[in-house]
Amino acid sequence: MASGLLGLFGLARASHLRAAVVRANSFKERAADAKHRLEAAQRDTTHWKEQVAEARARVAAATRDVERWKGKDSGHLNELATLREKLERVKQAEQAIALTRAHLLAMETKLDVLEGAITVLDRRTRDRLEDGAGAPDIEASHTTQTS
């Protein structure tokens, strides 16, 4: 009843007023707390944005590095393939040289034999001519011995 009468005059009980003040203070504190949390979240957001930006920059840099190394590796692989090809050609050239050398030795040996045969025939011809076109003299005259 008393509350009703006080209400008619725009007044309230002191207890009500104190409770309302307490609630108002509580709301203020909660509002301040929410404000702080909001500010912290904003700071975190800003921080994470920076982190993301930094990470993106790193990724971009790493991507550039990867692309660069890919290019370098490709160059190296090409170089390696070229070297292998050259090595193969060197091996083939060595085989060709060895074969050529062997044929050269065989040719020299055959030339030795031809030269020897020509020398022998020349000698026989001269002997025959000196003997008045008689038969070639192939009688041996030897003085040395095997050991």
Q: Are 121 and 136 in contact (CB under 8 A)?
A: no
Q: Which is nearer to another protein, 78 or 119 (CB)?
A: 119
**Smallest separation, CB 145 to another protein (Å):** 3
Q: Residue length, the chain?
A: 147
Q: Which is nearer to another protein, 12 or 98 (CB)?
A: 98
Q: Which is nearer to another protein, 113 or 129 (CB)?
A: 113
**Smallest separation, CB 122 to another protein (Å):** 10
**Smallest separation, CB 95 to another protein (Å):** 11
Q: Which residues bind another protein (CB under 8 A)?
A: 98, 101-103, 105-106, 108-110, 112-114, 116-117, 119-121, 123, 138-147
Q: Which is nearer to another protein, 54 or 130 (CB)?
A: 130
**Smallest separation, CB 90 to another protein (Å):** 16
**Smallest separation, CB 106 to another protein (Å):** 5
135 Cβ partners below 8 Å, 6+ apart? 128
Q: Which is nearer to another protein, 83 or 105 (CB)?
A: 105
CA 68/CA 60 separation, integer angstroms: 12
